[in-house]
Structure 1
């Protein structure tokens, strides 16, 4: 990302205030990009949600730099031909190949004035564009997608605020920011961390006092013994092997408690060194780690950074569920990671 980037957010009466909300929060909270609001005359405006906004600048005072973003939210006035005063700014911005992002009604505004004729783009609906704009010539470049970026122009329908936000961050090359990426994942459907409460479960296990260096000898051998002993004690196994960590600090040489076991249907007395008890509900942030266990440290690092950024306190207990273990092809492993939170 280039340094000292500004995001110029155009605000006007009845603009759809939710559409730029996610991206402006992301930029302000996690990056050095400065969000600057402006209206045509610099006077206060009232958003579609009834929020009174005092813009920081008037249109005449906007002077975008080489890498500054121009952000155009939608709203009914844009679809009805209002705000033509910003046309010179939009034209110069596009001609200079500076990033420009338009959503919902703002895409109609761009299409109406020919800015999307030769640019791949999307909007609320192709049929709607044709109906609103009989002279619209960009149909061959229309793509039905949550967000489209082409020639530094980002477009999205009004229902795709998350995809719109991600596309802008990609255009500005900001997704290398681990804290920002973690935060954004909560809004994405696929592969996102989840805050959840795991219900109580019956657990058959063996406990160890160890450090990270002592984990290697336990791999493969303990799980085999756990399954064998569970069956020998007439316990019905109802899930994959679990590794539960308690009082882990991450410091070299830190000795912590590790419980390796499996969920079972009932609790009963079992001979030492094994145990069987009902675990209480477990509040956690979880994510699925695909691939080799050697790379799990990176997933933990991103997850913990995100939790700390969100201001959530960790409990000191973590869990791993080994959904699929393939020692011949580690890239096929699937591990569910759960970091306990208070």
Structure 2
């Protein structure tokens, strides 16, 4: 049986406890990577957030360990207090063995002052500040003005870049193929993430179509114009953007399904056939905005369906697309909100 990988986190008085927190939580809860905290002597320390932390090991134990990832957080003392020089042999061992080292915020100044950044791409809080905090630093030619950088087996990040720092760690450990971890991390990473929502009742003026996939595509640009014209002609007060409501569409090209295309209005009233106007009931859904062309809608649906499958939630067979903004000349400007009906767990 393959031994689980190990991540060691150096903790010390006044270390910035929030900086490695996201990475640690994901590793501990969604992967087989074992997280071990250690201090110089193995005794309790008090973090920068005034939290008492009891390390699992001491530095001497860490030196004897087989470590896949070593995380050094920033903190008020890491770049100025010479007591931290005691971990330099561990850093040398880690890098000499081709293992991962991740340093964030002032920890980059600490390793930079000891020559570890001289020959590899890296970042820090600021290039000029790095030179001030690390007077022996000679890696200016390799500095990258980015939130987080991976150079070989060394990961560096600025202090505010907790999320990019975590992403670089997960990528270096090849963990983002883990669906549970990727779904959870999506709530923190750049860009929107799926979320649960309870949609309120909606007064909807619409027309129904029985179509398959090709028939649906034929309605693009024509159905919306017709709906707007008819809503105005019947005296409706339009209160929102065009929406497409799908009933039992399974994504297969040949499947015939019901598609309702319409607009929200302020009040329901009698309308001529084939149009309808009624108050639709509220429903539970998992939702996510899609920004960009509709040719990429499948990617956003994939994230939503992945979350639904991961959580074991049952779909109702009903979903909506709300077209908040669309531009056929510049489709990258499109904003579409997707709502997939689910049975609330």
- TM-score by structure 1 length? 0.80
Partner of 1:286: 288
Please tell me whether the aligned partners of residues 127 and 140 of structure 2 are also in contact (alpha carbons under 8 angstroms): yes
Q: List runs of 5+ in structure 2 lacking aligned partners.
A: none
Please tell me whether the aligned partners of residues 114 and 136 of structure 2 are also in contact (alpha carbons under 8 angstroms): no
Partner of 1:31: 31
Alpha-carbon separation, structure 2, partners of 1:11 and 1:36: 10
SS in 2 for 1:79: coil
Aligned-pair distance for 1:339? 3.1
Q: List runs of 5+ in structure 1 lacking aligned partners.
A: none
Partner of 1:98: 99
Alpha-carbon separation, structure 2, partners of 1:60 and 1:332: 56
Partner of 2:18: 18
Return the match for 1:217 from 192, 212, 215.
215
Partner of 1:49: 49
- 1:1-342 mapped onto 2 (5 Å cutoff): 4-62=4-62, 63-65=64-66, 68-81=68-81, 82-193=83-194, 202-207=203-208, 214=212, 216-221=214-219, 223=223, 225-235=226-236, 237=238, 239-245=240-246, 258-264=259-265, 267-278=268-279, 284-288=286-290, 290-291=292-293, 296=297, 299-306=300-307, 317-322=318-323, 323-324=325-326, 335-340=336-341
CA 179–304 in structure 1, closer or farther in 2 if over 3 Å, else same: farther
CA 220–324 in structure 1, closer or farther in 2 if over 3 Å, else same: farther
CA 193–279 in structure 1, closer or farther in 2 if over 3 Å, else same: same
- TM-score by structure 2 length? 0.79
Alpha-carbon separation, structure 1, partners of 2:28 and 2:257: 39
Aligned-pair distance for 1:180? 2.4
Task: Output the aligned Cα RMSD.
Answer: 3.7
Alpha-carbon separation, structure 2, partners of 1:143 and 1:296: 34
Deviations 1:198-244 (A, max 9, x none): 67654212356x7xx84553443482553453243243556543123
Aligned-pair distance for 1:15? 1.2
Deviations 1:175-209 (A, max 9, x none): 2223322322222343544666767654212356x
Which 10-residue stretch deviates more, 312-321 or 151-160?
312-321
Alpha-carbon separation, structure 1, partners of 2:125 and 2:332: 40
Please tell me whether the aligned partners of residues 182 and 303 of structure 1 are also in contact (alpha carbons under 8 angstroms): no
Please tell me whether the aligned partners of residues 318 and 340 of structure 2 are also in contact (alpha carbons under 8 angstroms): yes
CA 314–83 in structure 1, closer or farther in 2 if over 3 Å, else same: farther
SS in 1 for 2:77: helix
CA 249–292 in structure 1, closer or farther in 2 if over 3 Å, else same: closer
CA 248–179 in structure 1, closer or farther in 2 if over 3 Å, else same: farther
Aligned-pair distance for 1:301? 3.8
Which 10-residue stretch deviates more, 97-106 or 55-64?
55-64
